[in-house]
Structures are given as C-alpha cells and as structure tokens.
A and B are shown apart, each in its own frame.
Chain A
C-alpha cells in the first residue's frame, strides 16, 4: 500500500508566510509522498516562489509538483521551478519520476495541463490562429502526459495536473467556464497511460471526487475544495500498517 498526500492551490504569498508549514507537521508519518497540484503562488512572483520553497522544504518525504496558471502569471515560472528544485522538490512538466516507497514503486507523471473543455462542448483546432494555438497547446500537453505515464516503470502510476481531466470534479463551478478549467484530452491521456489515480487542482468551487471515462479515480485537491491542509489517498489496497 502506498500513501499519496496531495494538495493544490495553496496560493502562498507574503501574508501567508509561515502559516502553511505548521499544517504539514507530521506528514512524513502519514504519507509516503506529497503531490502539489499547481497554483502554489498567488501572482507567480520570484518572492512568492521563495516563500513556497521555504514552506515545503525538508518535510521528510519526497515532494513532487506541477505549476499552475498563477505560477506563470509574472513570467517567473523558470525561477519558481528553480526555487522548488533547490528546496528538494521534483518539479514536473511533461516528465515522470519514480519514487521507491515501502509499499512499492510509485510513478508520477505531471503536466500543468490546459483548457479546452469536455466531450460535446469543447474547442476545436479550427479557425483563427489564436484558437488553433489554444487547442494545439492542450493537445501537446495531453500527449506529453500520456507519454510520461507510459514511460514509467512502476508498480502504481499517478497523473498529476493542475487543470482538470474530468468535468465531474468541476461540479459547483459555473458550466460556462468549464472550457477554461480542463480538457477531456487529459482524461484520455490518464486512461491510455495506465494511471490508477489522477490528481488536479484549479477548480476552487468544484468537488473532490470524480472519475475518467475509463474509470480512473480523479481527485480535485484544490485547497478550498479539501478544506484541510492535504488529502491522503492509498493505492494498492488497505493494510494494517496504514490506511
């Protein structure tokens, strides 16, 4: 059994410095790995990136992250990524990593993802260059997620994104903005890549639980949805030592 802690949309900034880390106390005893599902900062500044790094450094367990749209806002995403890496975090964008856990080898593939919408109500790569570029970007990141998942040599696989692969976990959000919250192409990548769990953030007004068309559990771990510092999901069945 592998215990996966996850949270997204912590949106840290100077006013929250030092307030999140106390909530992570003891996480190494409760989980084997922590996944961060993007929007770690509010404005995507270098200063906020450093604050995030300070809050999550040296937690005593592997920390894997993707960035979110807020983390790109100030065009400092590379600097934020470097800060995370210096803090011992593994940032992913179209890549995978395998973590050796007591319950087996856990593979995580991560991308920020993008929008486009869901079956029957989605954007198409057609018309103006701007629209084609929008949809092409989603196709590219979905393909990267699929390939990263397929390339993992692991006992269990998890897909980590910021944007949602599933409209079920968007329930509570205005339906008009679903195309800006995720894409069914990400769900196809999750299903084809052999993931057992997909974790995302971004949808603050959504709900926690959904599933891909292929039946893979999807969990929206945006902090406002969870209402707690992080969630823990157990893969590989329950045992007496943990879940």
Chain B
C-alpha cells in the first residue's frame, strides 16, 4: 500500500499526493479527488503497474468546477 501511494506521488503521469490507498476484502481502492477524468485513468494505470497481481478500483472523485458560492463576511 505504501509503495502504491509513493508511486502515485512520484510517477510523472500522476503526481498525486492526496490520493488515499485503502485495502478492503481483497480489493485495493483509490480514494480522493482530482481535477480531471483523465487523471483517474492515470492513477489506475500506475497503481496496477505497481501491483499487477491485485485488483485495484477507484472511488476517486473528479472535482467539479462549480460556480462561485455566496460571499462570507469576516
């Protein structure tokens, strides 16, 4: 798990430091948020290269660039 997370941070295709790696019932899940759909595919590819014999799935969310919300008065 630690090696997968390190690869996701250091591999040039991903450079994702905020993605969590979780093991549940024989499946390795990637969790977190990224800013584009293509980045989820890169995450899965890099993780599967790191541990080719394990099942890896994604719960990574793609951050929507929503409209600005209401102002906050401080």
Q: Considering the complex, which residues of chain A in the window 185-218 have a beta carbon less than 8 Å from any beta carbon of chain B?
A: 196-197, 204-205, 217
A224 in contact with B63 given A73-B15, A234-B73, A243-B71 (CB within 8 Å): yes
CB-CB under 8 A from B38, the residues of chain A are 15
**A228 contacts chain B at the CB level, 8 A cutoff:** yes
Interface residues on B, range: 20 to 34
Contacting pair A228 B67 (CB below 8 A): yes
A196 in contact with B74 given A10-B35, A224-B33 (CB within 8 Å): yes
CB-CB under 8 A from A204, the residues of chain B are 18, 32-33
Q: In whole angstroms, what is the CA distance A13 to B35 when docked?
A: 10
Q: In whole angstroms, what is the CA distance A3 to B20 when docked?
A: 35
**A121 contacts chain B at the CB level, 8 A cutoff:** no
**A108 contacts chain B at the CB level, 8 A cutoff:** no
A15 in contact with B36 given A196-B74, A227-B63, A231-B69 (CB within 8 Å): yes
**B72 contacts chain A at the CB level, 8 A cutoff:** yes
Q: In whole angstroms, what is the CA distance A77 to B68 when docked?
A: 29
**B66 contacts chain A at the CB level, 8 A cutoff:** yes
Of A16-24, A82-90, A126-134, the one touching chain B: A16-24
Q: A30-B68, A234-B73 are in contact. List 12 more A-B contacts (CB 8 A).
A: A15-B36, A15-B39, A23-B65, A23-B67, A196-B74, A223-B63, A224-B18, A228-B65, A229-B67, A233-B71, A237-B73, A242-B71
